[in-house]
Chains A and B, each alone.
Chain A
Amino acid sequence: KQEVTQIPAALSVPEGENLVLNCSFTDSAIYNLQWFRQDPGKGLTSLLLIQSSQREQTSGRLNASLDKSSGRSTLYIAASQPGDSATYLCAVNGLSNFGNEKLTFGTGTRLTIIP
């Protein structure tokens, strides 16, 4: 059974700092890994998707890495801004017990950027 853990559970940093969010997963047989952002009471916004054959993806100030063999991914946010405050979710796409694909979500990191 795939388990996804995110550390830390909450993080507060001053505006302008660079920061790293961590995600670990137990089963390395995955199709891809995705990072999402969720604002309070809202749905998900997809940030980055890394295929299992890739090592990293970049979009603007965001960079996500994937080390499938060790079951780890990091999301790097450069020059943080107050608008980055949200909960960040890591999700791993693999096979379920039924042979279907299944996204397993992590517990999330609640990020607060202090102006």
Chain B
Amino acid sequence: GAVVSQHPSWVICKSGTSVKIECRSLDFQATTMFWYRQFPKQSLMLMATSNEGSKATYEQGVEKDKFLINHASLTLSTLTVTSAHPEDSSFYICSARTTGAGSYEQYFGPGTRLTVT
């Protein structure tokens, strides 16, 4: 089946620093990748949608200058949290969709837990 990986699985950083999270589709090409955020005891909220080779589309309320998304290839998207603050501490999950028409099924990565101290 389609596998999506994330790196790192967890990261602790100091307030004011930047953190990069990678999302890779391991055995398929993904023209579209999605980034979600999940706060404790809450559900997943879509942050942005990224298409390979073009700018990401951000959901309302998500600062694009703070959460930089790059989708430079069909197998890799990165999310950079710039000038992180404690309120950015969360569980970040990416998903990827295969190319071509069909089921629109998204395959999810295992998530990255970010703690900002």
Q: Mark A14-39, 1 if CB is under 8 A from B, else 0.
A: 00000000000000000110101000
In the assembled complex, the CB of A86 is this many whole angstroms from the nearest CB of chain B, namely: 14
Cβ 8 A contact of B113, one of A41, A51, A100: A41
> Known contacts A43-B110, A89-B44, A102-B46; is A49 also within 8 Å of B105 by CB?
yes
Distance between Cα atoms of A42 and B6 in the complex (Å): 12
B106 CB-CB contact with A under 8 Å: yes
Distance between Cα atoms of A51 and B102 in the complex (Å): 10
Interface of B is mostly: strand
Assess whether A103 is in contact with B110, with CB atoms less than 8 Å apart: no
Assess whether A51 is in contact with B103, with CB atoms less than 8 Å apart: yes
B34 CB-CB contact with A under 8 Å: yes
User: Which B residues are in CB contact (< 8 Å) with A106?
Assistant: 43
Cβ 8 A contact of B103, one of A32, A89, A91, A103: A32
Assess whether B93 is in contact with A101, with CB atoms less than 8 Å apart: no
Cβ 8 A contact of B44, one of A46, A93, A105: A105
User: Which A residues are in CB contact (< 8 Å) with B57?
Assistant: 96, 98, 100
* A45: nearest chain-B partner, CB-CB: B108
Distance between Cα atoms of A102 and B104 in the complex (Å): 10
Which residues of chain A (81-99) have a CB below 8 Å from chain B?
89, 91, 93, 96, 98
Which residues of chain B (91-112) have a CB below 8 Å from chain A?
91, 93, 95, 97, 103-111
Distance between Cα atoms of A91 and B36 in the complex (Å): 13
A107 CB-CB contact with B under 8 Å: yes
Give me 19 A-to-B residue pairs in the complex whose CB atoms sit less than 8 angstroms apart, sorted by A's number. A31-B104, A32-B105, A42-B110, A43-B108, A44-B44, A44-B108, A49-B105, A91-B44, A93-B104, A96-B49, A96-B59, A100-B32, A101-B97, A101-B104, A102-B49, A103-B44, A103-B46, A105-B43, A105-B44
Give residues in B with beta carbon < 8 Å to A.
32, 34, 42-46, 49, 57, 59, 91, 93, 95, 97, 103-111, 113
